[in-house]
Amino acid sequence: MAAPALFTIGYEQTRPDAVMAALKKARVQLLVDTRAVAASRKPGFSKRQLAATLGENSIAYLHLQKLGTPAEGRQAARSGQIDKLWRIYDKHLKTHDAIEAMDELLSIVRSGRRVCLLCFERDPGHCHRSRIAQIVHERTGAKVTDLMPESV
pTM for this one? 0.96
**Does residue 2 surpass a pLDDT of 90?**
no
CA distance 120 to 19: 11
CB atoms within 10 A of CB 20: 20
Residue 42 gets which letter from DSSP?
A: S
Mind listing the pLDDT tens digit for each residue in 17-75?
A: 999 999 999 999 999 999 999 999 999 999 999 999 999 999 999 999 999 999 999 99
Q: Would you say 105 and 137 are in contact if contact means Cβ atoms under 8 Å apart?
A: no
- Estimate the share of the chain in helix, then strand, then coil, as percent rounded to the nearest 5: 45, 15, 35
Mind listing the pLDDT tens digit for each residue in 91-120?
A: 999 999 999 999 999 999 999 999 999 999
Residue 83: per-residue pLDDT: 95
Mind listing the pLDDT tens digit for each residue in 69-79?
A: 999 999 998 89
Amino acid identity at 39: A
Distance in Å from the first CA to the final CA of the chain:
39
Specify the fold of 5-147.
Answer: Cobalt-precorrin-4 Transmethylase; domain 1 (3.40.1010)
Residue 104: per-residue pLDDT: 98
